[in-house]
Structure 1
Amino acid sequence: MRRITLWMLSTVAAVVLLFSYRTSTMGATAPNAPGVVGAAPGLVPNGPAAGGPAGSAAPSGATLVNGTVAQTRWGPVQVRVTISGGRITDVVALQVPSGNRRDREINDYAVPMLREKVLQAQSADIDSVSGATVTSDGYRRSLQAALDAAHFGS
């Protein structure tokens, strides 16, 4: 009888531990996790109060547009695009998955590559970065929403 009781208690404890285990697929756990700025989608006023980091004001005549937040399997992705003279001049990732160290490693190499691809293509029609397919998809969706909001290419 004593063995059965001990076996039952250890089984219950193991099940509780398994169900409380958090994986990176659950997204960021903190509302202000690194990489999360929380900028609203749509046109952004020019100037220092635009919601970005210090010194992120758009050059005169440029338009800043936030894309919508693309919810991905690993966490939210959102970009801000700068359009000047009918060209995409910059893309900044406002939110990327940052729930764990591996997410940050992936995004440290993938986000700059995605930015370069957008600047070369001048559209959201870009290839995914190998190893960061989910983030690449979210990046493209948020970017396309920003370009649509700015009526870019139409």
Structure 2
Amino acid sequence: MKQKNIIALGVIAVGVVAAVVTGYQSRNLGTSSSVAKSQIPGDAVTVEGTAQGMDGDVKVELILTRDKIYSINVTEQNETPNIGTMAVDQLPASIFEANSLSVDAVTGATVTSTAIKNAAAQAIEAAGFDPANFGYTKEEKKEVTVNLEDIPADAVTATGEAQGLGGPVTVEITATADRIYNVVATGDNETPGIGTKALEQLPGDIISANTVDVDAVSGATVTSDAIKEAARKALESAGFDAASYKGGQSASKVDPKDIPADAVTATGEAQGLGGPVTVEITATADKIYNVVATGDKETPNIGTMALEQLPGEIISKNSISVDSVSGATVTSDAIKNAAAEALKSAGFDPESYKG
């Protein structure tokens, strides 16, 4: 009887080992999509590419010609089961069917999806072909250049911290009471390719929009929120009110000594793309001395470009008849209309200002 039990336990043990080995192997195997071998032309090339995934290298094998993918196979991966492996299971078929790397990432598996595309692009390059012909666009990092000479002497640098997805996120911010000049965000334990994308992108968005109330980076909401919260704490630590920074606010640099005593300051408002746009203008009957444009709801890096650029254009040309900022026509028109309303409110004729 004991012998039978020993044999039975031995069989169970072998079964467990086999299950573990099989499970491990299936985790490393990918999926493939291809045409029948008979349909693959003789000039097709078989190549392999590798890219960093969430949990190690992702390897992709392609069979292709200059303009067509005949087979795509994820040959090696160690991605998270039921998360990264969803991309491994689904993306090759999407790429194969579209004959393009320009396909949507699998929801919740952005890092693995990107790794598959990057590995496929590397394989295409190894074949001597251009990945761009297959819709591949390498993601460029968005950078905002900060000129230290533009930071005034009264600017304050302070630090704030908030909890991210993987650990603390720290933000160092340099600002005055009404303008944010520099932002540096760090978070050593945020998810590579997801949280790190927010760490790279959001500081520039905050600087450009001159507010911490910017959109979260898609797929990285927790890290994005941590950056914004840490930025608020940094501003408060510096003695400033984070809510007082208005998105897309632009003021021209005018020496008050150059503004005559008879100049009038008035305000006008017009509808922008996302909400009201307000313009404060200081002028005499024949000269515009200062323009401040504010639009809290205008699109970051599009409408805000108009809010930043147009006031200076209006002053330098001494006219509200200036060209709209490319791609930001609605916000540009709102600024000009609000400026016209402000001049009328001051008792001046907007048409009398000649550029």
If the length of structure 1 is used for normalisation, what is the TM-score?
Answer: 0.53
What is the CA–CA distance in structure 1 between the aligned matches of 2:244 and 2:276, rounded to whole Å?
11
4+ residue runs over 6 A deviation: none
Provide structure 2 residue ranges, at least 5 long, that are not aligned to the other structure: 1-214, 216-242, 248-255
Q: Deviations over 1:94-131 (max 9, x none)?
A: x31426xxx23234432231012101221211110012
CA–CA separation in structure 2 for the residues paired with 1:148 and 1:127:
21
Q: Which residue does 1:60 correspond to in 2? A: 261
Of residues 98, 110, 122 in structure 1, which corresponds to 2:297?
Answer: 98
- Counterpart position of 2:246: 35
Aligned residues: 101
Q: Which residue does 1:88 correspond to in 2?
A: 288
Does 2:314 correspond to 1:111?
no
The aligned runs of 1:102-141 (5 Å cut-off) are 103-141=299-337
User: In the superposition, relative to structure 1, how do residues 104 and 90 fare at CA in structure 2: closer, same or farther (>3 Å)?
Assistant: same
Q: TM-score, normalised by structure 2?
A: 0.25
Q: Counterparts of 1:122 and 1:128 in 2: how far apart (Å)?
A: 15
Q: How far, CA to CA, are the matches of 1:142 and 1:83 in structure 2?
A: 14
SS of structure 2 residue aligned to 1:135:
helix
- Distance, in Å, in 1 between the alignment partners of 2:284 and 2:310 is 19
CA distance in 1, matches of 2:266, 2:244: 23
Cα distance in 1 for residues equivalent to 2:314 and 2:321: 8
Cα distance in 2 for partners of 1:108, 1:77 equals: 11
1:71 to 271, 280, 283: 271
One-letter code of the match for 1:142? A
- Report the AA paired with residue 333 of structure 2: D
Contact residue 76 and residue 96 of structure 1 kept, 8 A: yes
Separation (CA, whole Å) in 2 of partners of 1:117 and 1:130 = 14
For the Cα contact (< 8 Å) 1:97–1:104, is it kept in 2?
no
Q: Structure 2 CA distance, aligned partners of 1:110 and 1:77?
A: 11
**1:62-119 deviations in Å (ceiling 9; x for gaps):** 210101x2123321111010114731011001x31426xxx23234432231012101
Distance 1:142 1:112 in 2: 15
Specify the alignment match of 1:9 in structure 2: none
**Cα RMSD (Å):** 3.1
Identify which of structures 1 and 2 has the higher relative contact order when contacts are C-alpha pairs closer than 8 Å and 6+ apart: 1
Between the aligned partners of 1:112 and 1:142, the Cα distance in structure 2 is: 15
The amino acid of 2:312's aligned partner reads: E
Provide the secondary structure at the position in 2 that maps to 1:66: strand
Counterpart CA distance in 2 for 1:60 and 1:104 is: 36
Q: Secondary structure at the match of 1:82?
A: strand
Contact 2:306–2:324 (Cα < 8 Å) also in 1: no
d(CA) in 2 for partners of 1:73, 1:125: 20
